[in-house]
Amino acid sequence: MYELDVKTEKRSELIDITDQIEKLLEENDIGDSYIYIFCPHTTAGLVINEGYDRDVSRDFINTMNDLIPWDNNYQHLEGNSAAHIKSILTGCSLDLFYKSNKLDLGRWQRVFLAEFDGPRKRTVKIREKS
C-alpha cells in the first residue's frame, strides 16, 4: 500500500491529485493494473470530474455549499456536520485502471481530493488490486 499526503488550504476545495498518484505509481514500478484509492477521513472525499476548466471545481464547491450550508441547526457538537454530509455524498474511495504509467481516465477526467473541513493535512491510500 502507498500513501499520498495532501495539504489543503481552504475550508472547501477540490484538489487535483491525478499527477501525484501517477508519479507515486510510476516510482514504485506498478505495471498495468487495477488501483483502489481510499480517503480515510470523514470530512473529505474523492471524486472524478473535469480537470481542465477550474470553473467546474468552483461550481461544484459552490453548489455543495448552497445545498448543504455550513450553518443549518445541525446536532453534531463539533460543528462540522455539513462537511460530514458532503463527504457521505461524494464517497471516500475509487477503483481505477492504471495503464502505461497513466490512470486510464476519460479525456477530460481528473482525480480530486474533495476537502470539506479544511485546511488540513489529508492522506490518500493507494493499493494495487489483484
- Residue 73: CB atoms within 10 Å: 6
Q: Is the pLDDT of residue 130 over 80?
A: no
CATH number for position 42: 2.60.120.460
Count of the separate structural domains present in the chain: 1
Phi-psi region of 29 (alpha: psi -120 to 50; beta: other; left: phi over 0): left
> pLDDT by residue (tens digit) across 77-125?
888 999 999 999 999 999 999 999 999 999 999 999 999 999 999 999 9
Phi-psi region of 99 (alpha: psi -120 to 50; beta: other; left: phi over 0): beta
* Residue 129 pLDDT class (50, 70, 90 cuts): confident
Residue range of the domain that includes 117: 2-129
* Residue 13 pLDDT class (50, 70, 90 cuts): very high
Q: Is the pLDDT of residue 1 over 90?
A: yes
State the pTM of this model: 0.95
What gap in Å lies between CA 52 and CA 57, rounded to an integer? Answer: 10
> pLDDT by residue (tens digit) across 25-76?
999 999 899 999 999 999 999 999 999 999 999 999 999 999 999 999 999 9
